[in-house]
Amino acid sequence: MVDVLTVLLASVAAGLLGSLVGLGGGVVMIPILVLLGVPVKYAIAASMVTIIATSSGSAASYVRDKIANIRAGMFLEMFTIVGAILGASITSLIAEKVLYFVFAGILLTSFFALRSRPPPETLPVVEQDRLAKALRLGGSYYDKSLGREVSYKMTRPLAGGIGMFVAGIAAGMLGIGAGAFKVSVHELILKMPPKVSTTTSNFIIGITALAGASVYFVSGLVYFDLAAPMLIGTTLGAVLGGRILNRIASSSLRALFLVVLLLVLLEMVYKGFTV
Amino acid sequence: MKREVNDLETVIGFILLGGVVVSLVVEGLGLLDYVITLGSLNIVFSPEWQTGGKDFFVYTWSVLASLPRGVTPVSLIGLGVILLMITPYLRVLASLIYFGVEKNLKYVLITAFVLVVLTASLLAY
């Protein structure tokens, strides 16, 4: 039987590691819980609640620093919440076996996303389409490393919205933030600058997680005695990670996280075949 | 105009941070109470630890109504989860009011849509 202290410690570790490599903790925390004997649907539901805390906590500072784009966030949330409700509803209904394989698929994409090096931070030149203009999607933020105000524009919000709907389904179904996927949509389709895309994604994840969590909440899959240590631990770990981020070499960390991802990936595939 | 947008950002930042901090403190107290009163740390997955089919608002009411009769680990930890879930919800509500004051119809509609969908999903499944 799993106990509060084990979950608390595992969550601190997952939150710490997740924030250091820029992926959320959920994607490793759920397989860890499954390993500890927690039914996968309960793990997903508790993780969904946890993500509200971690993403809202970090979004708070990005929003106050005026880096996250609230307008774009609000627009894209329309799509992610519908996706998340759909995804969470699917999970409430389908067999566990299917979930393990879908989860393994997401872990595989995280593995490859993390393996490829992030592109250099260049600002794309953007020709806005009509909807982007009408929604006034664009803005500016103060870039500390450049020491000046950076202005930018966005484009193709509708195509971006469809991408975010898909991200919402994945997030709601698996109890994760799907941050890496959201950031890709922001940068590749909407042409957001990297700093704006990661912070705006964080802002959106809180609402997406709430939409998914509400479905799990009402369907009785959220067990509060599991969620409580998880959300305290993960948030502590994430705060700690944010503080030491600049002090450790990131390449060795990435290697460590890749190994962890590979291990939990194997675990999920194994569970999928044996359950 | 620019100044007003900055105000929205300050309010949203405050709601998000305040909500998370308060809910984490309540969860921490609840866990402490759990360990002290039950003397056990096992996670049991028994029905008292979930909503029992109640929607968010009915569950919130049942927790609040139980508080005058005394605080239990279950009600404290339940309250922490409620406070956490209400945090992003309040953030959307604040944005709606803000865009309304700004008379920004497009964003009023966008934010209203988000709020209606969230309310519906919290109400019933």
Q: Has residue B99 got a pLDDT over 60?
A: yes
Spatial separation of the C-alpha atoms in residues B111 and B96, rounded to whole Å: 6
A16 compared with A245, residue with greater pLDDT: A16
So what's the pLDDT on residue B1?
44
Do B91 and A207 count as a contact with CB atoms less than 8 A apart?
A: yes
Do A217 and B84 count as a contact with CB atoms less than 8 A apart?
A: no
Question: Nearest C-alpha of chain A: how many angstroms from B60?
Answer: 12
Interface probe for A, chosen from B4, B36, B42, B50 (most Cβ of A below 10 Å), is B50
Q: Are A38 and A1 in contact (CB under 8 A)?
A: no
Instruction: Tell me which chain A residues have a C-beta less than 8 angstroms from the C-beta of B124.
Output: 218
ipTM for the whole predicted complex goes beyond 0.85: yes
Residue A49 is nearest to which of B5, B81, B118, comparing CB atoms?
A: B81
| Residue in B with minimal Cα distance to A217 | B51
Torsions phi, psi for A221 (to 5 deg) = -95, -15
Q: Give the residue extent of every domain in chain B.
A: 2-123
Q: Which of A170, A226, A232 is nearest to A46 (CA)?
A: A226
Buried b (16+ CB within 10 A) or exposed e, A264-275: bbebbbebbeee
Question: Nearest C-alpha of chain A: how many angstroms from B53?
Answer: 5
Do B13 and A70 count as a contact with CB atoms less than 8 A apart?
A: no
The kind and range of the H/E element at A68 are none
Q: Has residue A95 got a pLDDT over 70?
A: yes
Confidence of residue B80 (pLDDT cuts 50, 70, 90): very high
Which single residue is written with the structure tokens 């930042």?
B13
Do B117 and A227 count as a contact with CB atoms less than 8 A apart?
A: no
Q: Has residue B2 got a pLDDT over 50?
A: no
Question: Nearest C-alpha of chain A: how many angstroms from B78?
Answer: 6
Which residues, including other chains, have CB under 8 Å from residue A23's CB and lie 6 or more apart? A110, A114, A179, A180, A257
A129 compared with A90, residue with greater pLDDT: A90
Residue A37 region by backbone torsions, left for phi larger than 0, else alpha for psi between -120 and 50, else beta: left
Q: Which of A109, A113, A145, A144 is nearest to A21 (CA)?
A: A113
| A 223-262 residues with CB < 8 A to B | 223-229, 231-232, 235
Using the Cβ of A41 and the Cβ atoms of chain B, whether some distance falls under 8 Å is answered with no
Residue A71 is nearest to which of B31, B88, B107, comparing CB atoms?
A: B107
- Summarize the confidence of residues B89-117 as an average pLDDT: 93
Instruction: Tell me which chain A residues have a C-beta less than 8 angstroms from the C-beta of B77.
Output: 224-225, 228
Spatial separation of the C-alpha atoms in residues B106 and B104, rounded to whole Å: 6
| Tens-digit pLDDT profile for residues A207-260 | 999 999 999 998 899 999 999 999 999 999 988 887 776 566 567 777 888 888
Do A214 and B118 count as a contact with CB atoms less than 8 A apart?
A: yes
Q: Are A226 and B59 in contact (CB under 8 A)?
A: no
Buried b (16+ CB within 10 A) or exposed e, B44-65: eeeeebbbeebbbeebbeebee
| Tens-digit pLDDT profile for residues A106-122 | 888 888 877 776 655 56
Q: Are A181 and A76 in contact (CB under 8 A)?
A: no
Under DSSP, the state recorded for A65 is: T
Question: Nearest C-alpha of chain B: how many angstroms from A113?
Answer: 28
Question: Nearest C-alpha of chain B: how many angstroms from A21?
Answer: 23
Instruction: Tell me which chain B residues have a C-beta less than 8 angstroms from the C-beta of A70.
Output: 5, 8-9, 12, 95
Question: Nearest C-alpha of chain B: how many angstroms from A53?
Answer: 6
Which single residue is written with the structure tokens 């609040």?
B64
Strand ranges, E, within A81-177? 138-143, 148-153
pTM of the model: 0.91
Using the Cβ of A61 and the Cβ atoms of chain B, whether some distance falls under 8 Å is answered with yes
Q: Has residue A93 got a pLDDT over 70?
A: yes
- Summarize the confidence of residues A41-53 as an average pLDDT: 94
Q: Are A3 and B35 in contact (CB under 8 A)?
A: no
Do B8 and A70 count as a contact with CB atoms less than 8 A apart?
A: yes
Spatial separation of the C-alpha atoms in residues A14 and A32, rounded to whole Å: 9
> How far is residue A275 from each of residues A28, A72, A96, A100, measured CA to CA in Å?
20, 42, 8, 9
What is chain B's percent helix, strand, coil content, to nearest 5?
A: 80, 0, 20
So what's the pLDDT on residue A6?
93
Which residues, in sequence order, are bridge partners of residue A148?
Answer: A143
Measured at the CA of A206, the angle between CA A203 and CA A211, to 5 degrees, comes to: 135
Instruction: Tell me which chain A residues have a C-beta less than 8 angstroms from the C-beta of B51.
Output: 217-218, 220, 222
Do B122 and A5 count as a contact with CB atoms less than 8 A apart?
A: no
